[in-house]
Amino acid sequence: MDRLRAFEVFVTVVSRGSFTRAAAVLDTSPANVTRYVNELEAHLGTRLLNRTSRSLSLTESGETFYARCKSILDDVAETEGLVSSASVKPRGRLRINAPVSFGIRYLAPLWPEFMRMYPEVELDVALIDRVVDIVEEGFDLAIRISRAGSTNQAARKLATSRNVLCASPAYLARSGYPATSADLTRHRCIGYSYAATGDEWQLIDSDGRAHTVKVDCHMHTNNGDTARAAALAGHGVIRQPTFLVGNDLRAGTLVQVLPEYRLPDIDVLALYPSRRHLSAKIRAMIDFLVEAFGGLPPWDRAEGT
């Protein structure tokens, strides 16, 4: 069995919704299309399609296999283009993972422009706050918020964001302003579930000395906007990046706590599987994001600049 041809037949059947229509597109007979799909299912030892006289639908295994086959065929087309043309046009499905809050605030407004520039690229964006395995989970690109310099994967830096401690004026009026890092132990704090250091917050003083404080978190969340909402409502101190709370600090709805201390910066990175060829669609997206976030990042710009 020609597996690459079988992949092509299977993807065409799914996209066209019919063995007969797939046969017409592929310039072959319906019987030949049926043979390829049957041989593919026999080779894999699983059913990929549910068939009735009137409709086709993917099985659970079929859904996973279809996504991977489509990605493989896209990569093959681009690889062929590398040797047949001096310039490769970005095309095909591009699976991107990004954190929820960052993805909604700073990436979602960019996608329409990217799609206008590259109409043959099909975006598939998954917003997930946990750290995904981009190879195992089949992503072409991941936007990762990471402590500066902490990744050893193939990556391109897009921007840097400061981390800050902050709370609402109402909370600070009730509980007082901490004067030293040790004072944080007497305050109610809101923790981020995916933080690498957990409830131990590291602060760096003006002499460069690091102070690690075990804080009392009466709430934990795996989403930065949820922590921000709790802080805005007066429920405690948060440690969050300026891309999330920068506007609140400028508006005065949140107030920076212990501004004389510095927290470790975080990088905004575009990660991609180092074992894979950097295809035209991935390169186009990375270059597009580098330009979009170039210079002073949007979260640190004053309103209207």
pLDDT in tens, 131-170: 888 877 888 899 998 765 444 467 888 998 889 999 999 9
Which tens digits make up the pLDDT trace of 185-242?
999 999 998 887 889 999 998 888 899 999 999 999 988 899 999 999 999 999 999 9
Residues 15-23, mean pLDDT to the nearest whole number = 90
Boundaries of every domain in the chain: 3-84, 93-154+267-300, 163-264
Q: Residue 21 corresponds to which tokens in the numbers above?
A: 């229509």
Q: What is the DSSP letter of 41?
A: H
Residues 6+ apart with CB under 8 A from 280: 78, 81, 88, 89, 90, 91
**Average of pLDDT values for 1-6?**
89
Cα gap 134→138, rounded to integer Å: 6
Residue 78 pLDDT grade (very low, low, confident, very high; cuts 50, 70, 90)? low
End-to-end CA distance of the chain: 60
Tell me the pTM.
0.64
CB 220 within 8 A of CB 193: yes
Alpha-carbon distance 160 to 271, whole Å?
A: 15
Model confidence over 57-69: pLDDT tens digits?
A: 999 999 999 989 9
Structure confidence at residue 130 as a pLDDT band (50, 70, 90): confident
pLDDT in tens, 260-269: 999 988 889 9
Q: At which residue do the structure tokens 């979602």 appear?
A: 108
The CATH H-level superfamily of 93-154+267-300 is Periplasmic binding protein-like II (3.40.190.10)
Write out the CATH class of domain 163-264.
alpha beta
* Model pLDDT, residue 305: 43
* CATH value of 3-84 in 1.25.40.10, 3.40.50.300, 3.30.70.1400, 1.10.10.10: 1.10.10.10
Our separate counts of H helices and E strands in the chain read 10, 14
| pLDDT at position 286 over 50 | yes
Residue 6 above 90 pLDDT? yes
Give the separation between CA 3 and CA 297, rounded to whole angstroms: 47
Report the range of poorest mean pLDDT among 70-79, 115-124, 223-232.
70-79
In angstroms, rounded to a whole number, what is the distance separating the alpha carbons of residues 157 and 102? 15
| Beta strand 210-214 pairing with 200-204 | antiparallel
Asked if the domains at 93-154+267-300 and 163-264 fall in one CATH topology, the answer is yes
Non-local CB neighbours of 234 within 8 Å, separated by 6+ positions:
167, 168, 170, 171, 174
Chain-centre distance for alpha carbon 234 = 30
Mean predicted confidence (pLDDT) in 275-283? 74
Helix axes 60-84, 3-16, angle to 10 degrees: 120
